[in-house]
Amino acid sequence: MASEQEAPELNRNLYPAIEPYSSGFLKVSDLHSIYWEQSGNPNGHPVVFLHGGPGGGTSSSNRRFFDPEFYRIILFDQRGAGKSTPHACLEQNTTWDLIDDIEKLREHLQIPEWQVFGGSWGSTLSLAYSQSHPDKVTALILRGIFLLRKKEIDWFYEGGAAAIFPDAWEPFRDLIPENERGCFIQAYRKRLNSDDIETQYAAARAWTKWEMMTAHLIPNEENIKKGDDDNFSLAFARIENHYFVNRGFFTSDSYLLDNIDKIRHINTTIVQGRYDVCCPMMSAWDLHKAWPEADFRVVADAGHSANEPGITAELVAANEKLKHIIKGKSA
């Protein structure tokens, strides 16, 4: 595990809020258009932010992890999420479609290569993208590692995490009749794809609240309220469930670990909350063991969210460290 001794001079605070200098929609298929935006320095070092969920979408606060004077900050909403259209759409929506979209966006913005930053599902997609296009990635920053293995899905959606959050688990559990509780993600799949929109919304609210109530070490009321937003919840729950039922569309349970050699050379920082219930530390630990060259940082007093103070500090510091390396090379 990496020490902290070289890092005290690095900034660990979020940067001030900024607005995009350009934005638009990129048509990536006959069906889907994705929303994208750029902020920071138009001539800066490009970094692409890969949001979680899948289905979570981006928010303005995501820009604040990066020094806007140094970085050209690219955010986009993945298929069906955020401002991308059609909303909550599962058709033509796989990991491989998203990887193609990232490449189309990079080419559209005329960026030869870029830094990749992703947490939770964003870490999954960052790994999959970089393994598919290692020559296009200058560095990786990964948070809340999720490898989309069966044991990770079972832990969070089939009752494991209920041992820690029984009060949050019961509403999620109780939406499903007892005779369907043998597989919650399949039971939710049925409801999230129901012909009745109210059935979809009820399932989406329950699914989203379960995750939002468990995402912080100390429960965050603002985060939990996202579960009451039917527009957000429907995309979040439907797309997550779709990806999890299909196990990320990977060819094997250990696909991402099996392909580490393709990206071993990429300068990478892994940030993990010790008490992450959504994406337990076992996954980050397995990634660290498979990839000891990556800088592995465990935040002792944090859960899953990037907005927890210790995780935020490590993510900003990781970007600062890369900034100093890049500046040093160009000096």
* Catalytic residue (choose from 39, 126, 304, 305): 304
* Catalytic residue (choose from 276, 283, 288, 305): 276
| Pure H helices in 90-220 | 95-108, 121-132, 150-157, 166-174, 184-192, 197-214
3-state secondary structure of 9: coil
114 contact partners, CB below 8 Å, separation of at least 6? 46, 47, 48, 74, 106, 136, 137, 138
Contact 229, 87 (CB under 8 A): no
Q: Is 39 a catalytic residue?
A: no
* Residue 164 falls in which region: left (phi positive, over 0), alpha (psi -120 to 50) or beta: alpha
Q: Is 304 a catalytic residue?
A: yes
Q: Is 276 a catalytic residue?
A: yes
Omega of the bond prior to 54 within 30 degrees of 0, cis?
A: yes
Of the candidates 98, 130, 138, 132, the residue with the CA atom closest to the CA atom of residue 114: 138
* Catalytic residue (choose from 120, 130, 233, 305): 120
Contact 41, 109 (CB under 8 A): no
Helices 197-214, 184-192: crossing angle, 10 deg rounding: 140
Residues marked as catalytic: 120, 276, 304
